[in-house]
Amino acid sequence: MKVGIIGSGGREHAICESLKKSSKVSKIYCIPGNAGTNLIAENVDLGIEDFKKIKNFIISNNIDIVVVGPEKPLVEGIVDYLESYQIKVFGPNKIASQLEGSKTFTKKLCKKYNIPTAKFGIFESSKEALSFLKNCNLPIVIKADGLAAGKGVYICENNKACLQAVDEIFNGKFGEAKKILIEEFLKGEEMSFFVICDGISYKNFGTAQDHKRVFEGDKGKNTGGMGAYSPSRLENNDLNKKILNKIINPTLKGLNDLNSTFKGFLYAGLMVVKGEPYLIEYNVRMGDPECQTILPRLKTDFAEIVLACVNKNLDSISLNWEEYKSLCIVLCSNGYPDIYKKNVEIKNLSEINLKKDEFIFHAGTKEFDNKIFSNGGRVLNFVVKSENFKKSRDRAINLIDQINWDGGFYRKDIGFKIIDK
Ligand code: AMP
Ligand code: GLY
């Protein structure tokens, strides 16, 4: 079958690699893809916001199934649009995508179905928000509603920071803001928890620990993710049961009650506090860099899984995973997540000899004149799976050192909570 992947990050390159391994897949198109996907698929230079052109391309190239990587087109309804032309799509519809697109939608669902989450309030003006904040304990978390690409969340330690957060959000720093969310600060350990769904049933799709802060020791600003390891050190059967019973099942029931279902990856961002899971946020797609970290551990044919989801028979296959410990380090452009240069050449990349269980997934890269250039904040993902996290990390760092790229930086301490104790 012919598959189309929408997106251009490390997540999409990893998805592309997994699909390529399947004997079921004859051709892959990446819309628009990056310099890495270009090596194994055909990149198609279309904007991911241009649904009509994407639809025309899919139909005229007889693409059998489409996998949507990023949240933005999902939240904007690309699945509903393509399905209205009888195109098979792996990803949730517009109603279900509100789980990521609107924090207030998710919080209201949590309240109605008793899903454990931080206590919260929703406010429609800065006056209301500020008067509520006067009586809150600090630190407190202030969030913009809607998509903010991993930003738009402030953890405020003092009144000045609260004022600044409310001011920036209502002044449109993350797009037009009609609502603001103020919530209790949860102190615990985060975990990214994934399930894959076909609209009727679902299966676990691994866990990971992301590292969102830009600097070592979890310091500095929030980013899209500087690295991850999988499985999360928190994973165990008891916690797994609690997450499914208290969070995932009631969420899917809530969607059913809205006459909707969930098809695709559902990613619960959790805070685990003394063994109890709390929902921090939902994402309606795979995580990035969690996807690059988790997929190399999957033994089952990924194309068969995607097909089963679209055909609503996920129940018919079992998912098998390698026991390996997988770790991903993201190489970023100097200056990220603030201002950084683009179009910086990355030499030496083609000279690296990847050994078994080593992977380089491209993110913000592009090819020109047979050379590779940076084209974004997060540029390359180095993933290694081995029998322990320390080995995986040492080997990933060794790969990055071989590139010796002076346009970028990375965190050497990914997995520090589990490796450097
Ligand atoms: P979000 O975009 O909602 O995932 O938030 C970004 C990051 O802010 C999360 O990964 C957490 O590290 C942190 N965060 C968000 N909400 C809370 C909370 N209620 N308590 C503690 N940390 C939080
Ligand atoms: N790694 C965080 C995210 O994909 O949102």
Residues 8 and 38 in one domain: yes
Burial of 316 (0-12, 13-18, 19+ CB in 10 A): exposed
110 in any annotated domain: no
58 in any annotated domain: yes
d(CA 255, CA 260): 5
Residues 238 and 335 in one domain: no
Residues 212 and 292 in one domain: yes
Give the position, in ligand 1's atom list, of the atom nearest the Cα of 152: 2
342 in any annotated domain: yes
Reported in sequence order, the residue ranges of 257-396 that DSSP labels E, i.e. its strands, are 263-273, 276-283, 325-333, 358-362, 365-368, 371-374, 378-386
How confident is the model at residue 150, as a pLDDT? 54
Instruction: Tell me which residue has its CA closest to atom 3 in ligand 2.
Output: 287
d(CA 385, CA 225): 19
Distance (angstroms) between ligand 1 centre and the Cα of 212 equals: 10
Instruction: Tell me which residue has its CA closest to atom 19 in ligand 1.
Output: 185
Q: Give the ligand with the smallest distance to the CA of 290.
A: 2
Is residue 303 lining ligand 1, measured as CB closer than 6 Å? no
Residues 49 and 150 in one domain: no
Distance (angstroms) between ligand 2 centre and the Cα of 224 equals: 6
Residues 285 and 343 in one domain: no
d(CA 107, CA 401): 44
Of 289, 316, 343, the one marking the end of a domain is 316
How confident is the model at residue 58, as a pLDDT? 98
How confident is the model at residue 35, as a pLDDT? 97
Helix, strand, coil shares, percent, the chain, to 5? 35, 30, 35
For residue 193, what is the domain's CATH number? 3.30.470.20
pLDDT tens series, the chain, 421 aa: 999 999 999 999 999 999 999 999 999 999 999 999 999 999 999 999 999 999 999 999 999 999 999 999 999 999 999 999 999 999 999 999 999 998 889 999 999 999 999 988 889 988 888 888 887 888 999 988 766 655 678 889 988 989 899 999 888 787 777 788 899 999 999 999 999 999 999 999 999 999 999 999 999 988 999 999 999 999 999 999 999 999 999 999 999 999 999 999 999 999 999 999 999 999 999 999 999 999 999 999 999 999 999 999 999 999 999 999 999 999 999 999 999 999 999 998 988 999 999 999 999 999 999 999 999 999 999 999 999 999 999 999 999 999 989 999 999 999 999 998 6
Residues 307 and 271 in one domain: yes
Is residue 273 lining ligand 1, measured as CB closer than 6 Å? no
Q: Which residues contact 57 (CB under 8 A, 6 or more apart)?
A: 4, 29, 31, 44, 46, 63
Distance (angstroms) between ligand 2 centre and the Cα of 377 equals: 14
Residues 363 and 413 in one domain: yes
Residues 39 and 148 in one domain: no
Is residue 153 lining ligand 1, measured as CB closer than 6 Å? yes
96 in any annotated domain: no
Distance (angstroms) between ligand 1 centre and the Cα of 396 equals: 27
- Per DSSP, the residues of 227-266 read EEEES-TT--HHHHHHHIIIIIHHHHHHHHHTT---EEEE
105 in any annotated domain: no
Is residue 307 lining ligand 1, measured as CB closer than 6 Å? no
30 in any annotated domain: yes
Residues 197 and 308 in one domain: yes
Mutation probe of ligand 2 site: the residue of 190, 283, 381 with most atoms within 8 A of C-beta: 283
Is residue 225 lining ligand 2, measured as CB closer than 6 Å? yes
Smallest CA-to-CA distance from 333 within 224, 413, 208 is with 224
Q: What is the CA radius of gyration of the chain?
A: 21
Distance (angstroms) between ligand 1 centre and the Cα of 225 equals: 13
Residues 155 and 234 in one domain: no
Of 158, 184, 210, the one marking the end of a domain is 184
How confident is the model at residue 151, as a pLDDT? 64
Distance (angstroms) between ligand 2 centre and the Cα of 287 equals: 4
Total tally of structural domains belonging to the chain: 4
Q: For residue 201, give its domain range.
A: 189-316
How confident is the model at residue 133, as a pLDDT? 83
Is residue 188 lining ligand 2, measured as CB closer than 6 Å? no
Of 298, 316, 334, the one marking the end of a domain is 316
For residue 353, what is the domain's CATH number? 3.90.600.10
268 in any annotated domain: yes
Mutation probe of ligand 2 site: the residue of 100, 290, 361, 411 with most atoms within 8 A of C-beta: 290
Residues 18 and 77 in one domain: yes
For residue 16, what is the domain's CATH number? 3.40.50.20
Smallest CA-to-CA distance from 203 within 320, 375, 109, 359 is with 320
Mutation probe of ligand 2 site: the residue of 103, 192, 213 with most atoms within 8 A of C-beta: 192
How confident is the model at residue 128, as a pLDDT? 87
Distance (angstroms) between ligand 2 centre and the Cα of 55 equals: 27
Residues 349 and 310 in one domain: no
Distance (angstroms) between ligand 1 centre and the Cα of 363 equals: 24
Give the position, in ligand 1's atom list, of the atom nearest the Cα of 148: 2
112 in any annotated domain: no
Distance (angstroms) between ligand 1 centre and the Cα of 362 equals: 27
Is residue 165 lining ligand 1, measured as CB closer than 6 Å? no
d(CA 410, CA 413): 9
Distance (angstroms) between ligand 1 centre and the Cα of 280 equals: 6
